């Protein structure tokens, strides 16, 4: 009987796969994927009208959206006819992944009355730099497999506006590295031009970026994802622009202690500037008509609004918004109105082209202006809550947003790009559960690209929660451990994942420079010695060329300093060192032993070895990363402690701590170098093009060797930090 067969068995009898010509491209994608995986003898038929399934036929279609959230549905009729329908393109490929995977061994009788898939989060968007930042250049990164994986995991939206060229157009004077901040979240004018800026960016530069944007959007479309932009905006203009249009100068937006040349944005209050941005967004929409959202971050990385209180250079702007000094509240109200002018402008244009278009604005920079901006949200303008800093779900700010009808887009960072593929499945599941219980509907989170992390258990947790949130973690982990390691090795793999999870959750989150800023300060390749300044600048140039610090920034000689403030006290640094020593490194060591001692010789050993070898190298890299971060705070404890101590016994104790720190980091650097030379696993992102502020290059091993040589030479120097470093002059 047909109904006694499993889905996989019955699918082999399908001879026709029917799709409608006018339906989105994802219908064709699913049809081809179904044929390849489940029905190899089927032919795909494209018709002008709605496909009507019959015996031995699968009909795939999009239906009219129902009230409420998106859904997709599978019905397996008693006569062998199969119907697969979706209310939104974004739910079709996830449904196929369920059919191909978890449901393939179920009897078709379970689907006679239909089974419906509804995502846990109606809006699930990728959060990482692989499509919008420097990691787009990572060697081994495959764009299509990444987008396919996002669709398989139930993601609904994807950012697509990474540059199509190796480096941004923005330049800097010698010694200024601020231009590297323009490498990610590029603004609208990096893809299309307007009458106002025509000629200030080379046509081939814009064409390359626009082609990349269109290609990424096409990939999103292929798998049913909604493409959108994440931009730092309004961003500064090329220096040459101000030679002609100086009167349109708006706010200075760079950080004066991080640059050697000021950057300015346009004065949004001027009608010519408003026309410019309308033209830009219209031209973007002409290139990507199905653009579904624009997410704006501002007051950072060369972007900002006039007269907001949190501009790095202080409140400032052009002559059109405020014509004389006013009180703080008057300024804040005017600045907020100016911000909303830009938001409404983009939202209006976007919704004319696509009624479902959303503008998402991060409110973090608007400390004084937030109370005036929030009531103006809604009507297609949403908020990103991860920039509210002190605000939490249920706070007055969130309640005020809810009144407007605006959606709050919640950030959930579930994996670290500094070491790829480090498992923390229980932590990921807990955080997804917390977001769901808090009522989050729009979520930004990250999974690793499958071309770089083939055994991504964190990503499988995201998929499981999105596609069938009630699956117990035990069965989820067991299912994937059985598949990747075999039943006789599964318990060992789950134990390794659990130990890794223990280490990740124990790491103190307030150790400075632990996340996206880790590459900026070149911590893996710079020498950890008691007196960095005793090493000549020529010898330090190998890493300082891409260090986020101008020539007189003490961050060059002080691991506890950025932009001329200290992060931790000596006592705080010591506490965090001990936390890493006691709670982070031991479980990692146990997990590494588990992965390194997989018995061999049996038939299954060859099947089990790849997942354990892959995980072992990633855990070794993770231990190197956490050890380096441990040694940054150990450096602070030792060197700052020595500098502050007055008693000789205390100075001797801190100097001993410093020598222990150097020995620890030397051993750690040698371990990392051996891993780099001996492993084929892509455990960190490495640029296929060139090193930059955000990513290491193919010369990573050479830089480690230089670090080791300098540390060996200067391990026993007396601790010292020049207190007057910031007053140095450029030589």
Which domain-ending residue is among 383, 412, 441? 412
Task: Specify if 500 maps to a domain.
Answer: no
358 assigned to some structural domain: yes
What is the structure's pLDDT at 323?
80
Does 78 lie in the same domain as 21? yes
In a domain, 270, yes or no: yes
* Same domain as 174, residue 91: no
Domain boundary among 116, 141, 169: 116
User: How far apart are alpha carbons 668 and 706 in whole angstroms?
Assistant: 14
Q: Which two tokens stand for residue 131?
A: 């499509």
For residue 280, give its domain range.
160-412
Q: What is the spatial distance between Cα 77 and Cα 10, in angstroms, rounded to a whole number?
A: 11
Task: Give me the mean pLDDT over the 576-599 stretch.
Answer: 95
Per-residue pLDDT averaged across 449-453, rounded? Answer: 97
Strands 123-126 and 115-117, sheet pairing: unpaired
- In tens, the pLDDT along 525-561 reads 999 999 999 999 999 999 999 999 999 999 999 999 9
Structure confidence at residue 174 (pLDDT): 86
pLDDT value for 389: 46
In this prediction, residue 683 carries a pLDDT of 97
450: left (phi over 0), alpha (psi -120 to 50) or beta: alpha
Q: Are residues 189 and 80 in the same domain?
A: no
> How many whole angstroms separate alpha carbon 173 and alpha carbon 178?
10
Instruction: Report the chain's mean pLDDT, rounded to a whole number.
Output: 93
My answer on whether 256 and 312 are in the same domain is yes
pLDDT at 565 (0 to 100) = 82
pLDDT of 253 over the 90 cut: yes
Q: Would you say residue 433 lies in a domain?
A: no
Q: What is the average per-residue pLDDT within 40-61?
A: 90
Quickly state the pLDDT bin for 275 (edges 50, 70, 90): very high
> Is the confidence at residue 387, as pLDDT, over 60?
no
Do you find a cis peptide bond into 234, omega within 30 degrees of 0?
yes
| Higher-confidence position of 128 and 694 | 694
Say whether both 165 and 104 belong to one domain.
Answer: no
pLDDT attached to residue 602: 41
Is residue 112 located within the same domain as residue 164? Answer: no
Q: Is 463 within a domain?
A: no
Domain finish residue from 387, 412, 437: 412
pLDDT average, residue stretch 355-359: 96
Number of domains in the chain: 3
Contact criterion met (CB below 8 Å) for 456 and 146: no
Residue 600's pLDDT is what?
Answer: 52
Of the pLDDT bands very low, low, confident and very high (cuts 50, 70, 90), residue 618 is very high
> 142 in a domain, yes or no?
no
- CATH number, domain with residue 97: 3.30.379
| Residue at 375 is within a domain | yes
Q: Are residues 232 and 359 in the same domain?
A: yes
Q: What percent of the chain has pLDDT over 90?
A: 85
Q: What is the pLDDT of residue 171?
A: 87
- Residue 562's pLDDT is 86
Answer whether residue 386 shows pLDDT above 90.
no
Examine the domain organization and report whether 107 and 224 are in the same domain: no
CATH of residue 333's domain is: 3.20.20
662 within domain boundaries: yes
Lowest mean pLDDT, pick from 112-126, 380-394, 450-464: 380-394
Same domain, yes or no: 105 and 166: no
pLDDT category of residue 3 using cuts at 50, 70 and 90: low
| Mean pLDDT score, 603-616 | 75
* 90 and 178 assigned to the same domain: no
Q: Are residues 171 and 301 in the same domain?
A: yes
CA distances from 232 to 188, 227, 273, 359 (A): 9, 17, 17, 13
Tell me, yes or no, whether 165 and 241 share the same domain: yes
Closest to 552 measured CA to CA, from 324, 730, 678: 730
Beta pairing, strands 408-412 & 442-445:
parallel
How far is residue 230's CA from residue 127's CA, in Å, rounded to a whole number?
10
Q: Can you tell me the distance from the alpha carbon of 324 to that of 305, in angstroms, rounded to the nearest whole number?
A: 18
> Which DSSP string corresponds to 584-641?
IHHHHHHHHHHHHT---SSTTHHHHHHHHHHHHHHHHHHHHHHHHHHHHHHHIIIIIH
pLDDT value for 391: 56
Q: What span, in angstroms and rounded, lies between the C-alpha atoms of 535 and 527?
A: 9
- Cα dihedral value 140, 143, 145, 151, nearest 10: 140
């Amino acid at each position: 009987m047909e109904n006694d067969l499993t889905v996989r068995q019955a699918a082999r009898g399908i001879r026709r796969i029917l799709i409608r010509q006018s339906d989105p491209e994802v219908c064709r994608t699913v049809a081809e994927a179904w044929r390849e995986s489940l029905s190899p003898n089927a032919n795909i038929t494209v018709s002008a009208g709605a496909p009507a399934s019959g015996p031995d036929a699968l009909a795939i279609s999009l239906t009219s959206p129902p009230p409420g959230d998106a859904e997709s549905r599978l019905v397996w009729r008693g006569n062998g006819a199969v119907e697969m329908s979706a209310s939104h393109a974004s739910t079709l490929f996830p449904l196929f992944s369920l059919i191909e995977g978890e449901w393939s061994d179920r009897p078709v009788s379970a689907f006679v009355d239909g089974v419906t898939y509804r995502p846990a989060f109606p809006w699930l968007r990728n959060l990482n730099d692989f499509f919008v930042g420097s990691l787009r250049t990572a060697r081994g990164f495959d764009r299509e497999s990444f987008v396919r994986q996002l669709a398989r995991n139930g993601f609904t939206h994807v950012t697509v506006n990474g540059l199509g060229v190796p480096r941004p157009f923005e330049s800097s004077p010698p010694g200024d590295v601020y231009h590297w901040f323009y490498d990610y979240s590029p603004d609208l004018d990096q893809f299309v031009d307007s009458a106002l800026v025509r000629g200030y960016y080379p046509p081939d530069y814009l064409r390359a970026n626009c082609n990349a944007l269109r290609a990424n959007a096409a990939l999103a479309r292929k798998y049913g994802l909604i493409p959108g932009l994440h931009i730092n905006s309004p961003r500064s203009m090329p220096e040459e622009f101000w030679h002609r249009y100086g009167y349109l100068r708006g706010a200075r937006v760079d950080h004066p202690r991080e640059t050697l040349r000021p950057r300015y944005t346009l004065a949004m209050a001027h009608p010519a500037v408003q026309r410019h941005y309308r033209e830009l967004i219209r031209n973007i929409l002409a290139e990507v008509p199905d653009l579904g959202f624009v997410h704006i971050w501002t007051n950072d990385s060369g972007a900002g609004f006039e007269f907001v209180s949190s501009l790095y250079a202080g409140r400032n702007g052009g002559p059109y918004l405020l014509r004389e000094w006013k009180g703080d509240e008057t300024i804040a109200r005017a600045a907020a109105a100016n911000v909303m002018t830009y938001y409404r402008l983009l939202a209006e244009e976007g919704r004319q082209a696509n009624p479902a278009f959303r503008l998402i604005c991060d409110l973090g920079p608007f400390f004084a202006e937030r109370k005036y901006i929030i009531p103006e949200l809604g009507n297609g303008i949403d908020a990103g809550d991860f920039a509210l800093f002190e605000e939490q779900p249920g706070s007055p700010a969130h309640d005020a947003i809810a009144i407007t009808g605006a959606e709050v887009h919640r950030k959930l960072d579930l994996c670290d790009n500094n070491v790829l593929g480090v498992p923390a499945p229980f932590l990921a599941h807990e955080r997804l559960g917390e977001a769901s219980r808090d009522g989050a509907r729009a979520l930004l989170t990250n999974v690793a690209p499958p071309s770089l992390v083939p055994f991504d258990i964190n990503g499988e947790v995201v998929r499981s929660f999105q596609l069938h949130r009630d699956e117990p973690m035990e069965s989820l982990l067991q299912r994937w451990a059985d598949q990747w390691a075999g039943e006789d090795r599964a318990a060992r793999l789950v134990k390794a994942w659990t130990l890794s999870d223990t280490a990740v959750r124990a790491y103190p989150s307030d150790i400075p420079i632990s996340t996206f800023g880790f590459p900026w300060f070149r911590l893996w390749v710079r020498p950890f010695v008691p007196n960095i300044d005793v090493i000549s600048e020529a010898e330090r140039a190998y890493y300082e060329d891409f260090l986020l610090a101008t020539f007189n920034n003490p961050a060059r000689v002080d691991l506890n300093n950025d932009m001329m403030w200290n992060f931790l006290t000596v006592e705080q640094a010591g506490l965090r060192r001990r936390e890493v020593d006691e709670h982070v490194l031991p479980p990692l060591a146990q997990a590494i032993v588990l992965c390194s001692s997989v018995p061999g010789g049996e038939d299954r050993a060859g099947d089990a070895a790849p997942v354990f070898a892959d995980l072992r190298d990633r855990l070794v890299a993770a231990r190197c990363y956490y050890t380096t971060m441990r040694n940054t705070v150990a450096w602070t404890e030792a060197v700052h402690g020595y500098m502050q101590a007055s008693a000789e016994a205390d100075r001797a104790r801190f100097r001993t701590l410093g020598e222990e720190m150097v020995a620890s980091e030397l051993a750690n650097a040698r371990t990392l170098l051996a891993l780099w030379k001996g492993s084929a696993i892509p455990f960190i992102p490495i640029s296929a093009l060139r090193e930059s502020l955000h990513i290491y290059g193919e010369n990573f091993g050479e830089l480690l060797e230089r670090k080791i040589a300098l540390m060996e030479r200067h391990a026993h120097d007396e601790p010292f930090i020049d207190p007057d470093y910031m007053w140095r002059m450029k030589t």
